[in-house]
A and B are shown apart, each in its own frame.
Chain A
Amino acid sequence: MTVDFLFDSLVSLFPSWENTDPFLVISMLIPLVATFGFITVYALVVIYAELKVSSFIQDKVGPMGQGVGLHAGKWGLLQPIADALKLLSKEDIIPSSANKLLFILAPFMIFVGAFISFIALPFNGSIIVSDLNIGIFYILGVGSLAVIALILAGWSSNNKWSLYGGMRSAAQIISYEIPAGLSLIVVIMLAGSLNMQEIIIYQQGGISNWIIFDNPFMPIAFVVYFISALAETNRTPFDLPESESELVAGFVTEYSGMRYAFFFLSEYANMFVVSVVAVTGFLGGWQSPFSGSLDSPLMGVFWMLSKTAFLIFIMIWIRWTVPRLRVDQLMHLCWKVFLPIGLFNIFAVAIWTVLFG
């Protein structure tokens, strides 16, 4: 959508140009740079939120400034920037026994997987980098690129802990994509489209039209999706690939400095992606919860971001509250609990739609 809009405006701005290829490149680059900037700023904000929320949960103050210009700024607002600078200025270490090419490749691959998901995320009726007709399918697809990156990271580090982390993450992410996908199939059945914008437009008309309140089975699908999303993003209680008390740091054990920052960044970027998908699929996307009011395009961005922020807050809340599952319990939960629920949901929603829809 945004790419087409930029391209059209460039063409109409310079009608004399015969060759329009440069316009296409420019109109693609602008949203990509903007997306990259958005991810960076968002990561800083959410890291600060994580520090502060965890502090409130743990009865401590978290990053705090002792006064103007001292320590981490007012309320510790500069803490995430200091963290980022620290990571940037760290020595870049590649273990001598590591497979250098794969070791260097892994952090980029994981970031690319998270980054290109942003292309199909709608922020309001018109702000979306590219309004793919298979948007939700595309996001699920590129989301699984992370698995390859994690295995690469785990294998190439030539470290037993990394290997454990990589193997665990492969098993975990591949497994949990299935219940997540099954929950989204229900959404797609109701909306009748894979397009993100059409799914949102289907939920027009206030909070009661959101898919989560569509029928009694949708809250179940939402919970299944949300928990699977937690597992896909390696968040506690499913942070087995990097569980620090078991595997030291899992697949990131050997990574430091900027390469570590990329893993970190893509974890937070993935949190955003899965939250936006949950908001799009179940919570009305950029639609206002009040039918017919507060639904200007700018308010659309506000609703989208605040709903997403709420889900991210819940993720942080869960992370600092519950212990970690064991690897076999994780698989048990996926294959023996979520998968049957997901399949049952599809049939139940189908029958419900035929009878009452």
Chain B
Amino acid sequence: MGIIRGEEMVLNIGPQHPATHGVLRLQVRTDGEIVSSITPYIGYLHRCFEKHCESVTYEQVIPFTDRCDYLASMTMNFGYVVAMEEMLEIKVNDRVQHIRVVMAELQRIASHLLGLGAFGLDIGAFTPFLHMLRDRERILDLFEMTCGARLLYNYMWIGGLSHDLPVGFVESTYKFLDYFEPKIDEFVNLLVHNKIFVERTADIGVMPQDVAISYGVTGPNLRASGLKWDLRRDDPYSIYNKFEFEVPVGEGGKGSVGDCWDRFYVRVLEMKESIKIVRQALASMPKDGDVHQSLPKKIKPPIGSIYKRTESPRGDLGYYIESDGSNIPYRLKMRSPAFTALSVIDEIAAGWLLSDVLAILGSLDIVLGEIDR
């Protein structure tokens, strides 16, 4: 009896597939259910945003940042305006800073809700997805109240904001937080301690810390591997150094550190921390201050370049902006956290079963809009 050698089959997952979170093509080589290698092909959602930015003025770049990571537009705006303000040496007033932090953290909750829900969906749990979308809807309502848009806000401007907070926003936000905090425990009961969910995620797709670092994985995926690295704490921008919050890291609660379960649970904990930050920011928000106070009349940064990174829900979001002294950027490059998260998939998912590959892909919480730009 010799060894039976199975023939490998090349299987294309996507670009139209329910579990690819957009238009991603994964070319996997499979022997039966076992996957031996995974090659991601990207570019199906490429819209030339970085090139476009070279032909529009600095203010007009902001809508493009919205459309990159369309699930976390606020933090995409935030990163860009923080970079531009540092380049232009603009100081914005305290009220603007507080509003920005509130929006960014609400956006983080909304993004994590969708990410966790879609992860559950990849594993076959349909109900948590809809429960999470239901609560995300209330955050979108808050955004709609503020700037009229529910997905692509164009809310944060260089040197200020497009609108001040509407009447009743603070109360509505408090109401939402009071409603939402106990709901987190509901999700925890529905998925995190569910026997089948634990079986499907614990010890699956373990990403060791050194692999995560060498691939440049950041954000919740890196923290799930056990490294306490959060730009809000380690390289504070805006006014994050004023707030007290924990940086949750993966502890291998059900399996080993850095598995899919940790990546899920870290995001759950991060939502709790975001709630803390929103509460602190709302409490300490100054009553007066014009959000248009420091909007510059003309944006012409000095010749030079800047690289500024901020913490988006998916990780280190970097903006490299090069100025030639005119009112349009000479070059604008985004460092996309989802791109690095996707690049690690072959390393951590090869050798697992086909179902696990999709679970691991779901646990990385990628957004194709940001990968392809």
CB pair B130 A322 closer than 8 Å: no
A318-347 contacts to B, CB under 8 A, are: 320-329
In the assembled complex, the Cα of A322 lies from the Cα of B196 at a distance in Å of: 7
In the assembled complex, the Cα of A248 lies from the Cα of B191 at a distance in Å of: 23
CB pair B358 A245 closer than 8 Å: yes
CB pair B354 A164 closer than 8 Å: yes
Does B200 sit at the interface, judged by CB under 8 A?
yes
In the assembled complex, the Cα of A78 lies from the Cα of B19 at a distance in Å of: 31
Dominant secondary structure at the A interface: loop
Does A60 sit at the interface, judged by CB under 8 A?
yes
The residue in chain A whose Cβ has the minimal distance to the Cβ of B34 is A328
CB pair B19 A246 closer than 8 Å: yes
At the interface with chain A, which of B49-57, B116-124, B165-173, B248-256? B116-124
Residues of A within 8 A of B125 (CB): 321-324
Candidates B120, B126, B197, B353; contact of A328 at CB < 8 Å: B353
The residue in chain A whose Cβ has the minimal distance to the Cβ of B19 is A245
Candidates A237, A243, A321; contact of B127 at CB < 8 Å: A321
The residue in chain A whose Cβ has the minimal distance to the Cβ of B352 is A326
CB pair A58 B131 closer than 8 Å: yes
CB pair B9 A324 closer than 8 Å: no
Does B11 sit at the interface, judged by CB under 8 A?
yes
Residues of B within 8 A of A244 (CB): 18
In the assembled complex, the Cα of A248 lies from the Cα of B123 at a distance in Å of: 13
CB pair A323 B196 closer than 8 Å: yes
In the assembled complex, the Cα of A329 lies from the Cα of B33 at a distance in Å of: 13
In the assembled complex, the Cα of A60 lies from the Cα of B9 at a distance in Å of: 41
Residues of A within 8 A of B194 (CB): 322-323
Residues of B within 8 A of A320 (CB): 126-127
Residues of B within 8 A of A248 (CB): 17-18
Does B163 sit at the interface, judged by CB under 8 A?
no
In the assembled complex, the Cα of A92 lies from the Cα of B127 at a distance in Å of: 32
B313-358 contacts to A, CB under 8 A, are: 353-356, 358
CB pair B130 A59 closer than 8 Å: yes
Residues of A within 8 A of B86 (CB): none
The residue in chain B whose Cβ has the minimal distance to the Cβ of A320 is B127
In the assembled complex, the Cα of A320 lies from the Cα of B125 at a distance in Å of: 7
- A246 touching B196 in the complex, CB below 8 Å, given contacts A239-B124, A320-B126, A327-B33: no
Does B235 sit at the interface, judged by CB under 8 A?
no
CB pair A237 B353 closer than 8 Å: no
- A187 smallest CB distance to B (angstroms): 28
CB pair A58 B18 closer than 8 Å: no
- B239 smallest CB distance to A (angstroms): 36
CB pair A323 B18 closer than 8 Å: no
- A165 smallest CB distance to B (angstroms): 12
Most buried by A among B120, B124, B194, B196: B124
Residues of A within 8 A of B131 (CB): 58-59
CB pair B18 A327 closer than 8 Å: no
Residues of B within 8 A of A245 (CB): 18-19, 121-124, 358
Residues of A within 8 A of B17 (CB): 248
A46-70 contacts to B, CB under 8 A, are: 54, 57-60
- B205 smallest CB distance to A (angstroms): 12
- A327 touching B355 in the complex, CB below 8 Å, given contacts A60-B130, A248-B18, A322-B194: yes
Residues of A within 8 A of B122 (CB): 245-246
- A184 smallest CB distance to B (angstroms): 26
- B360 smallest CB distance to A (angstroms): 12
CB pair A326 B356 closer than 8 Å: yes
A219-273 contacts to B, CB under 8 A, are: 236-237, 239-240, 243-246, 248
Does B47 sit at the interface, judged by CB under 8 A?
no
Does B199 sit at the interface, judged by CB under 8 A?
yes
Does A160 sit at the interface, judged by CB under 8 A?
yes
Does B91 sit at the interface, judged by CB under 8 A?
no
**What sequence of 0s and 1s flags, for each residue 176-214 of chain B, a beta carbon within 8 Å of any chain A beta carbon?**
000000000000000100101101100000000000000
The residue in chain A whose Cβ has the minimal distance to the Cβ of B134 is A59
B29-45 contacts to A, CB under 8 A, are: 33
CB pair A324 B127 closer than 8 Å: no
A interface residue numbers (CB < 8 A to B): 54, 57-60, 160, 164, 236-237, 239-240, 243-246, 248, 320-329
8 contacts between A and B (CB under 8 A): A54-B127, A58-B131, A321-B125, A322-B194, A322-B196, A325-B199, A327-B355, A328-B353
